[in-house]
Structure formats: structure tokens, C-alpha cells
Amino acid sequence: MLEVRNLSIQYPDHPLIKNINFRLEEGDICFLTGNSGSGKTTACLAMAGVLSHVKPEAIVSGQIIFKDINLEKENPPPDLAITLENPYSQLTAIKSNVKEEIAFGLEMRGIEPEEMLRRINVIAGKFGIAHLMSRDPRSLSGGEIQRIVISSSFVLKPKLWILDRPLSELDPYARHLFLKELVQYAKENKAIIILSDEPAPDIYSIASHVLTLKSGISNFSVNNKKGRIENINVSELDTSIAFTKTKNKTNKKESKFNPSLQAKSLCFGYSKQQSNIINNISLNVQRGECLWITGPNGCCKTTLAKLIIGLLKPIEGSVLINGINPAKEPLWKVARIASYAFQNPDLQIFSTKIWDEVLSGPKFSGYSDEKCINLTEWALKLFGLREKAKHHPQDLNRSEKKRLGLASTFAMDTPILILDEPSQFQSIKEKHIIREAMRNALNMGKSILCITHDLDLIF
């Protein structure tokens, strides 16, 4: 049993959560939801008993009782697990392969080697990661890393499992598979599950309870429509990359852009000892066109984007961006005609102020001071970050960091935009903003290459 009594949390500058009260029994699945910034991650950390370690400035009152232990005052029990919002930050960074990564938590709990191996083999079959066991975790795609950190919690057999946005990097097949396994796990192990995410029909369908956070106020309710996903027939997706193209009408007289992106017969592999992971891929994107790249986790979508931008060099084939071969030119030259928003926004943040972060792109491009300021203000306002211009980027939540990466990319005003999972962590409202920003870019005559698992983003 988990009971939360009068839980309130505030930071020095503002209150966040006020008087949360609820109770969960064995086998319950609670969907913790609310828009970006509503306090979902803070609530997850508090209910896992680690908020005071992660955010020592947080002021917490109330009680979180699990198995007669007050998690805010005592050490969490070994049968409690949390899967963090950022899967990249949950890798140990000391294990050389996936098998050892998943085994780490079991080692810390003193599980016998034979039992460790049995649990790892079971989870490898459940989540389709057996082929990854000898891989370096840091070499995997975002979706594969998320499967690994989920598996690392799953094998611990927690009785209280708190998951903060565990679906953000997963393809549709992996998402449905995991939700189906979660329902079965809670039922068979009499475990309490708390799953935090943006509002989503498929999560509502498995939840026994829903806890909604909004402006510090909580609403806890019983969901009488749970369990539907147990009847979903999940079929394996094609393992290859898929391409869909959208073309908007552009005003050729007013457009200052005449972009073109071509790739011919691209082949790539990370080592000579392994077979190529990209074989004979060709594509063409012209003015006012968006090329959508979809496909399951691990099918090399991000690798393809890195080949196109010049971060990786093909073994065979070639890329031309406005007549420039990025494999043969310095990155600074390529960056003036094509800007790239990374899948993991942490990889492109380097400034200590949000304003400076976005301003750095236009300055690098050699624009006038006035244009740099105008582009920076426009991009921050476009993606809802203008009020936080003086903040440190690391003070942003995951959703805001993603939009910061997009703002930095759009502010460069390049004729070609490469966007890797731009709608991750976003609410319906924020997804609409991103979609409209992309439409406007196409109407201006720009070209976009967009990688996404979010099929609702495609227009």
C-alpha cells in the first residue's frame, strides 16, 4: 500500500504542489498527468524518496508512506524503483555492454548470478533487446537506451515502480508492447505502478487511477475504463526507415531561399568488422518540402541525419546540400546552410543563459547585431521561452529544453532544417506550436528533414 498525505512541495521562488492526498493498493496503476511544468517530475522524485537528494532546495511537507516507511524521512526500501525522465542520465557510464548495464542494479542488491542471468534473459525476450546484449549502451539509439533503462528497473521486480515519461523515446510498437507488459506485471506481482506523462489515451486505458496536476492543485480519481490495452494485438513493425514527403505552396517571388538536399546511394557502418547499418539510401528534398523519416527504434534514423549534416561520413554514396558536400567541408560552413536540432537537447546546450544560447547561432552565422537580436527574440517567443530568457538552460524541464533546442535551430534562419524528434515531451498545445512553426518555414521556401515517432505531428 502507498499512501500520500497532504504532500506539498515548493521551491524558494514558487510553490509547485499543494496538498496531494491519495492511496494506492497492490496491483494499481496510477497515471500521473498534467501539462509541462505542472510538477510531475518533482512528484515522482518525492514519491521515490529522492527529491531531497536531487533538489535540496525543495521544501517538502506531508507524508509519503510505503510499507510503513515514510519515504521523505527514511531510506527507500530495495523493492522500490524509479525510471527517470531522461534515459541518458540513468546509464551507469561504467558498464561496457547492455547485459552488464541491466545487471548493475541486481548486483547492488546481492542477487545470485544464476538468478541475475535468468531475469536478464526473460526481460531480453519481453522487450526485444536480446540482440543488443553485447553492445555498448552509449552507442544505442534513444529508443534503445530507453528500453535498457526500463529493463534495468523491471528486473529488480519492484513492488513500487515510479516511471517518469518512460515512453518518450519509444516507437509505436515498443510503446504498446511496454504498456501491455506493465499491465501484466502489476497484476502478477501485485505491484503499485505510478506512470507520469502528458495526457495520452493509451495510458488512460491501462490506469486504475488518474492523478492530474494543474497549477499546484491535484485531482485524484478512479478510472473505470482501465485494462483495454490487454486486448490489443501488437504486431511487429517493419525494421526499415520509411519516408513521407509534404510539400507546401511557397511564394517564389518573395522567398529568399532556394534550398536543395540530395543523398545518393548512402552506405554506412560504424566499423569494418560489422556489416553496414545503412545501405543504398537515396533521398531528395527541395524548396518548400518536408521529408518525414519514420521507423522503429534502432533503424538508424539519427545516423542518417548525422550523415546528411556531415557529423558522420558515408562509406559509399554522397550528400549535397545546396551543392556542398558536407563530408568534404568544415562543419561551420555546413552549419550556415543547414541547422540541426538534436534528439537529446542536452547535447547542444553550452551557454549559461537561455538568451545567449539562442543568440549564439545567428551571431555565428554573421548576421548584423540587429538581426541577431530580432531572430533571438522571435525564436524565444515562438517556442514559449521569452519569459525565461535570463534563466540558466539547466533550470528548464525536459519539455522546455527540447523547445530551447528548436529555438536555437530556427533562430539560425538557415534554408534547411533537420529536426530529430521535435515533438518529444510536448503537450498538445506545444505540438501545435511546433507544427505551425514548421509550416511557416516551408511557406517561406525552406526545406525540412524531420525524424519522428509521433505520427500525429505529420501534416
- Residue by residue, pLDDT tens for the chain (459 residues) are 999 999 999 988 788 899 999 999 999 999 999 988 889 999 999 999 999 888 899 999 999 999 899 998 888 899 999 999 999 999 998 999 999 999 999 999 999 999 999 999 999 999 989 999 999 998 899 999 999 999 999 999 999 999 999 999 998 889 999 999 999 999 999 999 999 998 889 999 999 999 999 877 788 888 875 544 444 444 444 556 788 888 876 655 556 778 899 999 999 998 777 788 899 999 999 999 999 999 988 899 999 999 999 999 999 999 999 999 999 999 999 999 999 999 999 999 999 999 999 999 999 999 999 999 999 999 999 999 999 999 999 989 899 999 999 999 999 999 999 999 999 989 889 999 999 999 999 999 999 999 999 988 999
Q: Cβ(103)–Cβ(157) under 8 Å? A: no
Determine how β-strand 2-11 pairs with β-strand 14-24: antiparallel
Measuring CA to CA, which residue among 170, 178, 168 is closest to residue 424?
168
Give the contacts of 294 (CB within 8 A, at least 6 positions apart): 241, 242, 243, 244, 301, 451, 452, 453, 455
Domain residue spans in the chain?
A: 2-231, 242-457
In one-letter notation, the amino acid at residue 233 is: N
pTM of the full structure: 0.84
Amino acid at 320: L
Helix (H) or strand (E) holding 201: helix 201-206
Q: Do domains 2-231 and 242-457 have the same CATH topology?
A: yes
Question: Rounded to an integer, what distance in angstroms lies between the CA atom of residue 431 and that of residue 436?
Answer: 9
Please state, in angstroms and rounded to a whole number, the distance separating the CA atoms of residues 242 and 302. 13
Residue reference for cell 538468478? 115
Residue 456 CA: distances (Å) to CA of 172, 410, 424, 438: 12, 21, 12, 14
Q: Which residues contact 108 (CB under 8 A, 6 or more apart)?
A: none
CATH 1.10.10.10 assigned to domain 2-231? The reply is no
CATH architecture for the domain at 242-457: 3-Layer(aba) Sandwich (3.40)
Please report how many Cα atoms fall inside a 13 Å half-sphere around the Cα of residue 157, on the Cβ side.
Answer: 12
pLDDT score at 37: 81
